Amino acid sequence: MTAEATSVAVGTPFKKRRRIGENLIRGFLFACGALSIATTVGIVIVLSQQALLFFLDDEVTFAEFFGGTNWQPAIGQFGIWPLVLATLMVSVIAMVVALPLGLASAIYLSEYASQRVRAVIKPILEVLAGIPTVVYGYFALTFMTPLLRSIFGVSNVEIFNQASAGIVVGILIIPLISSLAEDALHAVPGTLREAAYALGATRLEVATRVVLPAALSGISAAFVVAISRAMGETMVVAIAAGASPKNFTFGDDSLFGYVLNPFEAGETMTGHIVRISGGDVSYNTIDYNSIFAIGLTLFVVTLGLNMLSRRFVERFREKYE
């Protein structure tokens, strides 16, 4: 470079160039985020408005809704607990099935499997996640229920029962837990593994005592997302769990023989919403408005789970430099 060119380059002031493409991308991403937030706010507003119409009805009281154990809107009984207990029962059974299997598969994929094996197993798990839930529902009804009846007895297991629905919902969410947990385990720095191996640890000890605790926040987030997914599942429970609420009375009905018996039929919150919103109920009736109160209750429960997950993640998150 000549002296004249150098003087011209030095004397030329720097100007900020307009990056029109980058600004457009930034605006598009902001619009997507704003649209997601607006959609969530709109859903909450609609649920709240319709649920308010339900609670303003003279036949409904907050005490009965949150404390009653009988849900029969046709005769003016609006106790939410039969639907809540069925939802929790199915979700608990699903997590008992999905958590150990999903976490074990995530540990295997992250710590044991070769690249060739991972290339085979990962697509299979993704295929499980892509199967329509209505197929899972009929699988629960035609395979899982006969299997449970053959093991525990026909007289003990009803055709429509919460156990078969919960097991199949657990199978349904295994890919979700496996994928999220495997990502959390894979994000742990390799230096931690190498340090543990240098101290003489085995591969199992490294996986369970080093990598697993380091990825605890991500794994817990995966568990909470899976629980929310299980509680929001619709078609499996609508087909396999039952089509009527399992009403009960404390003191009269056996706690473990009927109320908490997973082999009894029961209707979940999402299953009830599907049945009522099928078109047989007139618009703006108390039965119709009740599904929005149920939906708002389910929304609050899942929101609480996600808030709890965020606090847990922030509390146990490991930061590496």
* Bigger pLDDT: 93 vs 243: 93
> Strand 71-72 to strand 77-78: parallel, antiparallel, or no bridges (unpaired)?
antiparallel
- The top-scoring range by mean pLDDT among 46-60, 113-127, 139-153, 213-227 is 139-153
* pLDDT range class, residue 37, cuts 50, 70, 90: very high
The residue assigned the tokens 């606090």 is 311
Neighbour-count burial for 106-131, b at 16+ CB within 10 Å, e otherwise: bbbbbbebeeeeeeeebeebeebeee
pLDDT at 38 over 90: yes
Residue 275: per-residue pLDDT = 83
Residue 189: per-residue pLDDT = 86
Q: Cβ distance 79 to 64 under 8 Å?
A: yes
Residue 115: per-residue pLDDT = 83
Question: How far apart, in whole angstroms, are the C-alpha atoms of residue 181 and residue 1?
Answer: 56
pLDDT at 321 over 60: no
Question: How far apart, in whole angstroms, are the C-alpha atoms of residue 45 and residue 318?
Answer: 37
Structural tokens at position 249: 């009375």
pLDDT digits (tens, 9 = 90+) for 119-136: 888 888 878 888 888 999
Q: Give percent of the chain with pLDDT exceeding 90.
A: 24
pLDDT digits (tens, 9 = 90+) for 192-235: 888 888 888 888 888 888 888 888 888 888 888 888 889 888 88
Domains assigned to the chain: 57-316 (1.10.3720.10)
Asked whether the CA dihedral 3, 5, 11, 16 is positive or negative, the reply is negative
Q: What is the mean pLDDT of the chain?
A: 85
Residue 317: per-residue pLDDT = 65
Mean pLDDT throughout 20-24? 80
Residues 6+ apart with CB under 8 A from 286: 54, 57, 59, 60, 73
